[in-house]
Amino acid sequence: MFPAIPVAPHLLKSNDQQTVKLWQAMPGNHRGETVEVSASLMSELQTAQSVIDIVKEHLSFGPGNGKSAFMLTRGQNYQREVAARHVRDADFRGDNQAIVKSALAAQTGNCGENSALTMAYLSAMELDRPIATWAAANNPDHQFTVIGDLRMPGEAVVVDSWPVFARAHLVNNAQFQPDASRPLDIHMPGMPPKMELDQMGDITPLSKDRIAHINQRNQTPGYEQALADPSRVRLFERNHGIVNLGVRYQNRDNPQDVHENTANREEYERQAYGTRLARQHLRNTDGD
């Protein structure tokens, strides 16, 4: 059971000893199920996963309000999120992509930054279906991006990079359900991208000195202070956003083409260590 996994063959893909099967390694009643999808939907799932991976690479300090990230970075994720909010107003005020640029500069972000950066990337992919960012109906503090029509939940793709083990999935297997009355951003096919990809590469990361200065001015609790009084920081533990991790998507035109819920073993064990520390030291935070 998460967060610790033994060295056991049944937790690994037989052809890849470095890949963990999340549906067996994570707690919960995850049942194996193969869902056939069209070639175009499989392509969108794969594009969605690629964008999730890219966003995580850019926001390399993890979620700004993530518990395991807090422990693994010794609070740098939280302090960088504070810095991101500051430079959004100080450096990028009036910029339509201020939230994206501030997240790239700080290299972290909460769900708002994650969804904005996800939308920016997806809008540059020339997809054939609408893309929208939605508030979660069952968790109003959360937001995420979806490709496709919510009226067809078995064909709409969730693209949410905020959870620790973020995997592209369909709305009908999502823990976070979109609130159809609360679209936060929409991109229709043929519209110009939210931000050019080369612009993203031009964002200069914030220096450690500036991050420290911003947090000193904001009197942000440091790592040791937060451990001494966890109620001073609001952090969350969210390992994934999928109801049944056992669902695997298979291209009906090419049975060898599958998308399933796995994780790199090294990253899994790293996050397991962070979660173990968080459960030991951060039990009194305001998150769940």
Q: Is the pTM of this model over 0.85?
A: yes
Task: Say how many C-beta atoms besides its own lie within 10 A of residue 175's C-beta.
Answer: 18
Task: Write b or e for each residue in 254-267: b if 16 or more Cβ atoms lie within 10 A of its Cβ, otherwise e.
Answer: eeeeebbbbbebee
Sign (positive or negative) of CA dihedral 19, 153, 243, 274 = positive
Residue with the larger pLDDT of the pair 27 and 139? 27
Tens of pLDDT, residue by residue over 227-236, are: 999 999 999 9
* Average pLDDT estimate for 227-248: 96
Tens of pLDDT, residue by residue over 120-138, are: 999 999 999 999 999 999 8
Does the pLDDT of residue 286 top 80, yes or no? no
* Average pLDDT estimate for 8-15: 44
Does the pLDDT of residue 5 top 60, yes or no? no
